[in-house]
Amino acid sequence: MSSIKRTVILVICLLVVPCVFADECGKVPTSGCYINQDTTFISGTYSVNFGVIINKSNIVLDCNNSWLYGPNLNFGIRVFDKTRVIIKNCKLTNYEYGIYLRNSSFNNIINNTFENNVVYGIFLRNSDNNKVINNSLLGNIGGVYLRAHNNILYNNLLSDNSISGFEVDVSDNNEIFSNKIINNNNAYGVWLKNSKWNLFSNNSITRHRYGVFLQSSDNNKINNNEVQNNSEINMRGVYIQASNDNDIRGNTVTRNFHGIVLDGASVTNIIEYNNLYDNDGDIYSYDLYNNQADNISARYNWWGTINSNEIDINIYDDDEDITKGRVDYGNWLTQFYNLTNNKYVITLNTGWNLVSIPLDSNVESLPSLLNSIKDKYDKVLTYNHNKGWVSYRPDKPDFLNGLQRINETIGFWVHMLEPAALEIQGFEAESSILELSKGWNLIGYPSVYEANVSHVFEEVLDELHSIFMYDSEWKDYGAGTDLLTTVKPGFGYWVKVNKNTRWIFENGKYKKYTGQATFQKDLLPGWNLISLPLQPDNITTENILTSLTGQIVVWYYNASTDAWTVYDSDAPFPWLNTLHTLEYGKAYWLSTTTNQTLTVQGDIMPDYTIRLINGWNFVGYRMSTDSMPDPISSLTRPITVWTYYTGGDRWEVYDTEAPFPWLNTLTEMRAGKGCWMKSSVAQDWTI
């Protein structure tokens, strides 16, 4: 073969197909080798410059405590576009990234060591529903980086990483608990930025510049952590910047330079039942420092004393600087708060039990929530009118379990192999929102107090048909016998309603939820495929885009008329803009030149019907995140859904007729995402 032909073939190979020059890994890893099957290395120390590559889904890599050394470059273990992989007992050092997951879900990273890697020990990008358990991350630049959703990370040790322990960036619904985070002292123990609905609980966080840093991050739970000894000058135990509606309860924040610091209009956070004391790095240190003009509430905390003057001296507010807002620290606790004392016990009998969680628990994943009855149950079921029955079985792998989390709003059945006591730790729920569909719903009762059934439901009686409860026998209210007279904590309830609706449980009652909500959508430079999960009061395009700066271009496709309309903020003539409104239920292509956040305020829609044509439709989704295929289960098949993620420049697809499940890369419909949906017939889709 001539050299010209060889060159042409090599160019085609490099540009058109993924050429493989490395061997398959055997029992001894070699540089850049591929893992195509279950593999266990011979225990040893190996120089593996290009790391190893997970090339198949559904496999196990057991390094058998082998050390893999890199050249301060590349990935130690690379996992791209794979699912259901287990990586365990590996020791990875001197790479850029110890393990790098991209577009990979339902994988387990267990009992590994990551040491002296020059960027991050573990990096998860666009990789959801993974578990990171019992790992040690030591001396890396960063410990764990998340740009991903619905992951569980627990019982890990993160020590002496230069910049951060956990860095959670544009990531939602992750659960990070029972980790030890030590001496990442150049910056952050836990750093949340532009992230929502994450849960951090039962972590020990010591010796950092910022123990916990919330930056433009809302609706997270920071519960029952120990944040202490972050005591060098200007170090903060908990720093809250431009972040709201976070639940900060049950933490012990002590021996820091400052305990909790708030600035940037961080106003509506819950700061209660914490132990805030002895944050006294020097005479300028405070247990709570309000570095903003807004007033805040910090009631029901233990300040290390019951003397009001001593408490006040250790709080920085308008007394120290008249430009700062006041701190309301009234109704302080008279002793150290211990969350373990705030516990509710549910007695479970052999067989099926209909239960709910009466507290706002500091964990939601089922293995953690039900840990006190581990090995004593074999199945959990719940029901949602739109999704039908979903289940969890502890003997099944995660990807086969449709039910992953439970909170105080959900009723559920648990099948017990023997009698046991389910112990729940948490706080009394401030308020809990329930989304109900016309017909039967299985709901929780988020209270630890018994109450008369007519009192609990009196404000929603016009929407209520009947209620059923099971406690060795069935009792009903509104269905004929009215034997159900008392609502009891720890029990689940079947509720039949006559319309799609939303309720809120607060002050011991279910009420109709009529309030508005705020939604924020993070945008990246380039084209973003978005939707509005709320119905704004003012739907004019200019009004909705007021939170954005720079040139903004928006395109919308009307499937029924087969026409595109456009809005360009820099259009030279107003009449060139044909897209005059942005509405709920529709999708939009939005282009921006910078990283920024679209903020939308409006009504949460309990139900909304979109008319789909036979063909491609450009549609949005509601104010929730739901696993596929539940959102489209009511539609006549076949249905194909595509969505686009600007970060990573990737498309994800779900096809009801895909010959293999792993071909479906779209795992959930998310609030704020737009999608292309192909329907085989004209039909109605209710979201």
Mark 60-74 as b/e (b = at least 16 C-beta within 10 Å).
ebbbeebbbbbeeeb
Each residue's pLDDT tens digit, 642-657: 999 887 788 999 999 9
Q: Find tokens 């990246």 and name the residue.
A: 524
**CA 178 remoteness from chain centre:** 17
pLDDT reported for residue 448? 92
Considering only residues 628 and 75, tell me which one the structure prediction assigns the higher pLDDT. 75
Structure tokens at 519: 């939604």
Which fold does the domain 76-328 belong to in CATH? Pectate Lyase C-like (2.160.20)
**Hey, how many other C-beta atoms are within 10 angstroms of the C-beta on 376?**
17
Sequence-distant (6+) residues with CB within 8 A of 452 are: 485, 486, 487
In whole angstroms, what is the distance from residue 372 CA to residue 364 CA?
Answer: 14
CA dihedral 383, 387, 388, 393 (to 10 degrees): -70
pLDDT reported for residue 185? 57
Cβ-contact 423, 380 below 8 angstroms: no
Structure tokens at 403: 């039910």
pLDDT reported for residue 10? 40
In whole angstroms, what is the distance from residue 251 CA to residue 575 CA?
Answer: 56
Structure tokens at 6: 């060889």
In whole angstroms, what is the distance from residue 428 CA to residue 408 CA?
Answer: 10
Cβ-contact 333, 321 below 8 angstroms: no
In whole angstroms, what is the distance from residue 649 CA to residue 627 CA?
Answer: 22
Task: Give me the long-range contacts of 510-513 (CB less than 8 A, separation at least 24).
Answer: 510/434, 510/456, 510/457, 510/459, 510/460, 511/459, 511/460, 512/459, 512/460, 512/463, 513/433, 513/604
Amino acid identity of residue 28, one-letter, is: V
pLDDT reported for residue 603? 80
pLDDT reported for residue 386? 63
pLDDT above 70: residue 231? no
Q: What is the DSSP string of 10-31?
A: HHHHHHHS----SPBP-SS--T
pLDDT above 50: residue 4? no
For 155, left (φ over 0), alpha (ψ -120 to 50), or beta? left
In whole angstroms, what is the distance from residue 239 CA to residue 607 CA?
Answer: 38
**Hey, how many other C-beta atoms are within 10 angstroms of the C-beta on 350?**
12
Considering only residues 395 and 114, tell me which one the structure prediction assigns the higher pLDDT. 114
Cβ-contact 331, 301 below 8 angstroms: no
Burial-class residue 358 by CB neighbours within 10 Å (0-12, 13-18, 19+).
buried
For residue 33, give the DSSP letter.
Answer: E
Q: Phi then psi for 536, rounded to 5 degrees? A: -65, 155
Q: Find tokens 């539609």 and name the residue.
A: 635
User: Domain residue spans in the chain?
Assistant: 76-328, 343-512, 516-686
Q: Phi then psi for 410, rounded to 5 degrees? A: -110, 130
**Hey, how many other C-beta atoms are within 10 angstroms of the C-beta on 659?**
6
Each residue's pLDDT tens digit, 136-165: 999 999 999 999 988 999 999 999 999 899
Burial-class residue 199 by CB neighbours within 10 Å (0-12, 13-18, 19+).
buried
Considering only residues 81 and 10, tell me which one the structure prediction assigns the higher pLDDT. 81
Structure tokens at 532: 């509005």
CA dihedral 421, 425, 426, 431 (to 10 degrees): -10
In whole angstroms, what is the distance from residue 409 CA to residue 411 CA?
Answer: 7
Q: What is the DSSP string of 336-379?
A: ---GGGSEEEEEE-SEEEEEE--SEES--BHHHHTGGGTTSEEE
Q: Find tokens 């209520």 and name the residue.
A: 464
pLDDT above 90: residue 624? no
Least Cα distance to 82 among 108, 109, 56 occurs for 56
DSSP run (H or E) holding 309? helix 308-313
For residue 641, give the DSSP letter.
Answer: E
pLDDT reported for residue 667? 84
Average pLDDT along the chain: 89
pLDDT reported for residue 233? 59
**Hey, how many other C-beta atoms are within 10 angstroms of the C-beta on 5?**
9
pLDDT reported for residue 234? 59
Query: Parallel, antiparallel, or unpaired for β 639-645 and 650-655?
Result: antiparallel
pLDDT reported for residue 13? 41
Cβ-contact 628, 661 below 8 angstroms: no
In whole angstroms, what is the distance from residue 32 CA to residue 161 CA?
Answer: 26
Cα 559 to Cα 105, 611, 614, distances in angstroms: 33, 10, 9
pLDDT reported for residue 172? 87
Each residue's pLDDT tens digit, 319-348: 999 999 999 999 999 999 987 778 899 999
pLDDT reported for residue 515? 64
Query: Parallel, antiparallel, or unpaired for β 486-487 and 451-452?
Result: antiparallel
Q: Strand ranges (DSSP E) for 513-649?
A: 516-523, 526-531, 553-558, 563-568, 587-592, 596-603, 609-612, 615-619, 626-627, 639-645
Q: What confidence category does residue 634 fall into, taking pLDDT thresholds of 50, 70 and 90?
A: confident
Considering only residues 685 and 46, tell me which one the structure prediction assigns the higher pLDDT. 46
In whole angstroms, what is the distance from residue 160 CA to residue 185 CA?
Answer: 7
Structure tokens at 369: 């929530």
pLDDT reported for residue 343? 86
In whole angstroms, what is the distance from residue 358 CA to residue 432 CA?
Answer: 11
Each residue's pLDDT tens digit, 478-521: 888 889 999 999 999 999 998 778 888 988 999 988 666 778 88
Taking CA 620 as the corner, what is the angle to CA 214 and CA 147, rounded to the nearest 5 degrees? 30
Each residue's pLDDT tens digit, 522-566: 888 999 999 998 888 788 898 899 888 889 999 999 998 999 999
Structure tokens at 508: 């011991």
In whole angstroms, what is the distance from residue 178 CA to residue 468 CA?
Answer: 37
CA dihedral 172, 174, 178, 182 (to 10 degrees): -50
**CA 69 remoteness from chain centre:** 33
Considering only residues 535 and 241, tell me which one the structure prediction assigns the higher pLDDT. 241
Mean pLDDT value of segment 666-685 = 90
pLDDT reported for residue 606? 65
Mean pLDDT value of segment 570-591 = 91
Sequence-distant (6+) residues with CB within 8 A of 313 are: none
Each residue's pLDDT tens digit, 445-487: 999 999 999 999 999 999 999 999 999 899 999 888 889 999 9
pLDDT reported for residue 418? 95
Amino acid identity of residue 191, one-letter, is: W
Q: Phi then psi for 16, rounded to 5 degrees? A: -110, -45
Structure tokens at 574: 């107003």
Q: Which of 70-74, 456-460, 585-589, 661-665 has the lowest mean pLDDT?
A: 661-665
